[in-house]
Amino acid sequence: MAGLPRDEAGTAASYASLARPLLLPTWLIIGVFLLLPVLLMVVYSFLTKEFRGGVEWTFTLAAYEQFFVTRGLFGDEPPSIEWTYIIIFWRSIWQAALATLLCLVIGFPTAWFIATRPPQSRGIWLFLITIPYWVNLLIRTVSLRFILRDNGPLNDALIVTGLIDAPLPILNSDVAVQIGLFYSYLPFMVLPIYAAVERFEFALSEAAADLYANRWQVMLHVVLPAVRPGILAGTILVFIPALGAFLAPDLLGGAKAFMIGSLIDEQFRGSQGNWPFGAAISVILMTLVLIALFIQARAASRGAS
């Protein structure tokens, strides 16, 4: 991480006596306005829904039961597994995983190419990759919605070139959401891999090449193990936001391509909402994220040893 002081903890200590007072504002703000709210959200997921979108402070497992268990339309059947929400989660996981894979396939060669440029031009290439990341995600998603429309520029171009006769109905499908996720988070994959490749000791590749390894053997057996931490970091940076994405599924997917983000959003809209249920879905989403982070941390430490 860029912000982590390298290893000078304890060496430069001219503010040692002030360290805690200096951190007080951070603790107050992030502690009160993020850490505390997340804990409160967990509590909320165990509360009872009130009919006007509010809650009653009576503890219940109803929200989680609604997620996992169905008792039929009238609630009088024996409990069985509720698939509706599990399917939405499954679709989200699948879409996020595919987007991560696509980002890796395009992002790795890009990061490699940039990291092997002469140092003076690296900055410019990198800057070109970073700019879209800073452009408003909403605007980027809207632009995709514009392009992917039935009579949008993409379909027009395909018809003019004679590749298709009638417009492809891309918008409001899983494909459109996938394009949106891939497009949204691509820079997140390039940057950490770039950082890893830049640190890579190319003498290792040369040594392997001298020992008659071909280019792709060098890549597979020498380079990939060395830049693994960068790949893992990029994977996590794409997968986590893609899993909880809201804009791409909402603006590009429509009702058919419902994902976790839209499901949560729905619980907080108007009087139809169900806050404890929304909180419960968020808790389940956060649990998935923690599992993903845990897997990444384990994979990283396994690679290091």
**What residues from 86 to 115 belong to the interface with other proteins (CB under 8 A)?**
106-107, 109-110, 112-114
Residues of this chain, 49-88, that bind other proteins according to CB under 8 A = none
Nearer to other proteins, 71 or 215 (CB): 215
Q: Is 183 one of the binding residues for other proteins (CB under 8 A)?
A: yes
- The tokens describing 50, both together, are 């009130």
Helix (H, G, I), strand (E, B) or coil at 53: coil
Q: Which is nearer to other proteins, 16 or 73 (CB)?
A: 16
Contacting other proteins (CB under 8 A), which of 46, 64, 68, 246?
A: 246
Q: Whole-angstrom Cα distance, residue 49 to residue 63?
A: 8
| Binding status of residue 160 toward other proteins by CB under 8 A | no
**Six token digits for residue 134:** 């800073």
Q: Is 217 helix (H, G, I), strand (E, B) or coil?
A: helix
257 sits near other proteins (criterion: CB under 8 A):
no
Q: Is 15 in the site for other proteins (CB under 8 A)?
A: yes
**DSSP structure string for 147-181:** HHSTTSHHHHHHHHTTS-SS----SSSHHHHHHHH
Spatial CA neighbour of 107 closest among 216, 198, 192: 192
Contact criterion met (CB below 8 Å) for 81 and 68: yes
Our measurement of the distance from residue 135's CA atom to the centroid of its chain's CA atoms, rounded to an integer in Å, reads: 17
**Tokens matching residue 9:** 């903890």
Position among 247, 248, 252, 257 found at the interface with other proteins (CB under 8 A): 247
Q: Which of 34, 224, 291, 295 binds other proteins (CB under 8 A)?
A: 34
Q: Smallest gap, in angstroms, from Cβ of residue 48 to other proteins?
A: 15
Choices 35-43, 67-75, 76-84, 160-168 (CB under 8 A): range interacting with other proteins: 35-43
Looking at beta carbons only, is 22 or 77 nearer to other proteins? 22
Q: If binding is defined by CB under 8 A, does position 295 make contact with other proteins?
A: no
Alpha-helical runs (H) found in 69-223: 83-115, 119-134, 137-148, 153-160, 174-199, 202-210, 215-218
Question: Please, what is the minimum distance in Å from the beta carbon of residue 8 to other proteins?
Answer: 7
With contacts defined by CB under 8 A, name the span among 65-73, 76-84, 121-129, 161-169 that binds other proteins.
Answer: 121-129
CB of 126 to other proteins, least distance (A): 10
